[in-house]
Chains A and B, each alone.
Chain A
């Protein structure tokens, strides 16, 4: 399996909802990333997990809460989001000791009403 998968593909939520985004890879990668991307802008790094430990948190608001239950899974828990949080959320993975290349998932298109 050489893909990063993400669910759901689309998500619409109200500002009071709680939802989660899921990311999965079975390539044995030990680094996983969450990015936020607005239209025609580059991906913005949110979080990095390295060997299941949070290694980078780019000053992301606490309404975004990442979780890495094991080396294959990465979640992003969402609570009390704002309309400006609407974006494409991309997950990526890499194997730091093998290659710098990051493999991106297809993304979750999030709309906050």
Chain B
């Protein structure tokens, strides 16, 4: 089955700086890669996603890049704000089954 690795497990940045979270996957059949943000006690919320036929996608301060050959994808958050503090999960999807990364706890220091 699919194996998704996510790094780093914790990340602290100063407000206004950029944050980058990286994931790798193993199954070349995976074709959809969402990123979820989860605040304490709340549900995971989809913040951006990318499909395997696209290399990069941007939505305001958030961007995702995908390298299919290397089987890795990354989340980039620019101009970070304290409200960006949360746990972020990447995932790789094969069929209708999600494989989540282990999560990154992001803290944005004001």
Contacts and interface: CB of A to CB of B under 8 A. Distances in A.
B65 interface: no
A106 B96 contact: no
Interface in B65-103: 87, 89, 93, 96-98, 100-103
Nearest to A104: B43
Nearest to B4: A42
A83 interface: no
Contact of B96 (A40, A100, A105): A100
Interface residues of B, number: 22
A31 interface: yes
A94 B97 CA distance: 11
Contacts, number: 49
Nearest to A105: B43
Q: Is the interface of B mostly helix, strand, loop or mixed?
A: strand
Contacts of A55: 96
Contacts of B89: 42-43
A113 B103 CA distance: 28
Given A90-B44, A100-B32, A105-B43, A40 B97 contact: no
Given A43-B100, A48-B96, A94-B96, A101 B87 contact: no
Given A90-B43, A90-B44, A102 B105 contact: no
A31 B96 contact: yes
A15 interface: no
Contacts of B46: 101-103
B96 A42 contact: no
A110 interface: no
Given A45-B97, A50-B96, A40 B43 contact: no
Interface of A: 31, 33, 40-43, 45, 48, 50, 55-56, 90, 94, 96, 100-107, 109
